[in-house]
């Protein structure tokens, strides 16, 4: 109970930090003006007991023993004119006391809200574009452009780290942190491009989905790759079981994309691709995805086979990029960019490197100013 005469130590407020309420040490004189009780946070353990001063006019009665400079220290109580602002400065300098900050409101939406927003985008007429970011700055630039959701890119992340994609060269923890950063900075739903689910077994894949939900992701992609160059695509039954176990965890909590990389790995088997996508849909995948179908006829066949579930296309077909309007006409609900934006930036960098090597500093340094990037980051904070 606070009787106005004791120093309080509230260690539950923040472990390792202490909270003090400085109140009157003794009854003030009849004409004294009490100082208002204030609460401070002390960034050091076991702070010394301090007697709260009381004032009569401009005079402050307090034990300034440690607050005064060397040579002027006193063990007894002193009576001298001291302004309240000076006294506060003495406290700040002598005891490292700072006012408690106001509680900060969480800036990032909760995962269930992000999931609902992401799910709604797939149900919206006309679908949506979902570009892939690889770091904080790229994510903020994409948000500034008005995109409503972002994806990670395992290929861009691996390349930025100097590693190969699809070889388990990037750990689950590294990818989770990358996705968490993108989501924290932008506040947008983030879809994790999580390769084969980071694990040897279907149970490992389920655990990855659980970790992704805990990290705040709104969506996650699980593909049928194996990270084995000699046998890059998993057997049908194994691939389906991995998606099945992922779906059990994901249902109603995170948007699950079932993906087959047949075309990317040179297996131009549309029949097997559709068979896999249909099986993924039947065991609970929310979105279906086969990167780079050979042509628009293949895109139409995939959309028809898995309907009414939405289909994702990355950039276009093996024939090249396609206008978003054409993909919308055939029923594609989501278009991602994969590693395409990263390679675009790397292409610009290579061009700038050539200009620099030729001595053209002006052309090599032209581009977005660092000040603009700082403003984006500051606004996100």
Whether the per-residue pLDDT at 99 is higher than 80: the answer is: no
- Band (88; pLDDT cuts 50, 70, 90): low
End-to-end CA distance of the chain: 39
User: 10 Å Cβ neighbour count for 299?
Assistant: 22
- Band (47; pLDDT cuts 50, 70, 90): very low
- Residue 60: predicted pLDDT: 40
pLDDT tens sequence across 239-256: 999 999 999 999 999 999
Higher pLDDT pick, 10 / 82: 82
Q: Which CATH number fits domain 111-345: 3.90.1140.10, 3.30.1360.120, 1.20.810.10, 3.20.20.60?
A: 3.20.20.60
pLDDT tens sequence across 135-194: 999 999 999 999 999 999 999 999 999 999 999 999 999 999 999 999 999 999 999 999
Whether the per-residue pLDDT at 196 is higher than 90: the answer is: yes
- Find the mean pLDDT for residues 8-36: 41
Quick check: pTM over 0.85? no
- Band (374; pLDDT cuts 50, 70, 90): very high
Mean pLDDT of the chain: 82
- Residue 321: predicted pLDDT: 96
- Band (92; pLDDT cuts 50, 70, 90): low
- b/e code 104-113 from CB counts within 10 Å (16+ = b): eeeeebebee
pLDDT tens sequence across 301-323: 999 999 999 999 999 999 999 99
- Find the mean pLDDT for residues 262-281: 97
- Find the mean pLDDT for residues 87-109: 53
User: In which residue ranges of the chain is CATH 3.20.20.60 found?
Assistant: 111-345
- Find the mean pLDDT for residues 1-12: 43
- Residue 93: predicted pLDDT: 55
């Amino acid at each position: 109970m606070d009787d106005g005469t004791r120093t309080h130590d509230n260690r539950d407020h923040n472990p390792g930090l202490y909270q003090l309420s400085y109140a009157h040490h003794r009854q003030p004189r009849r004409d004294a003006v009490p100082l208002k009780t204030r609460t401070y946070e002390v960034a050091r353990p076991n702070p010394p007991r301090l007697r709260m001063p009381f004032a009569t006019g401009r005079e402050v009665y307090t034990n300034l023993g440690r607050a005064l400079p060397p040579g002027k220290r006193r063990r007894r109580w002193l009576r001298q004119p001291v302004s309240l602002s000076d006294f506060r400065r003495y406290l700040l300098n002598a005891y490292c006391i700072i006012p408690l900050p106001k509680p900060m409101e969480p800036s990032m939406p909760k995962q269930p809200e992000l999931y609902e927003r992401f799910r709604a985008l797939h149900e919206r007429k006309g679908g949506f574009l979902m570009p892939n970011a690889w770091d904080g700055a790229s994510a903020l630039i994409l948000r500034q452009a008005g995109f409503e959701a972002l994806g990670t890119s395992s290929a861009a992340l691996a390349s930025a780290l100097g590693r190969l994609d699809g070889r388990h060269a990037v750990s689950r923890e590294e990818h989770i942190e990358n996705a968490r950063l993108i989501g924290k900075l932008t506040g947008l739903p983030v879809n994790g491009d999580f390769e084969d689910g980071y694990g040897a077994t279907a149970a490992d894949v389920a655990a990855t989905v659980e970790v992704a939900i805990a990290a705040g992701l709104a969506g996650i992609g699980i593909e049928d790759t194996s990270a084995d160059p000699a046998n890059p695509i998993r057997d049908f039954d194994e691939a389906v079981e991995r998606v099945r176990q992922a779906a059990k965890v994901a249902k109603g909590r995170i948007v699950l994309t079932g993906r087959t990389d047949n075309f990317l790995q040179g297996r131009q088997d549309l029949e097997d691709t559709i068979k896999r996508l249909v099986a993924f849909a039947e065991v609970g995948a929310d979105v279906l995805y086969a990167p780079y179908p050979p042509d628009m006829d293949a895109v139409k066949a995939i959309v028809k086979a898995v309907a009414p579930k939405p289909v994702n296309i990355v950039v276009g077909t093996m024939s090249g990029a396609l206008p978003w309007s054409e993909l919308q006409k055939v029923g594609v609900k989501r278009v991602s960019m994969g590693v395409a934006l990263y390679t675009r930036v790397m292409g610009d960098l290579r061009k700038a490197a050539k200009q620099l090597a030729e001595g053209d500093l002006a052309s090599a340094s032209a581009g977005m100013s660092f000040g603009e990037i700082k403003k984006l980051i500051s606004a996100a904070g």
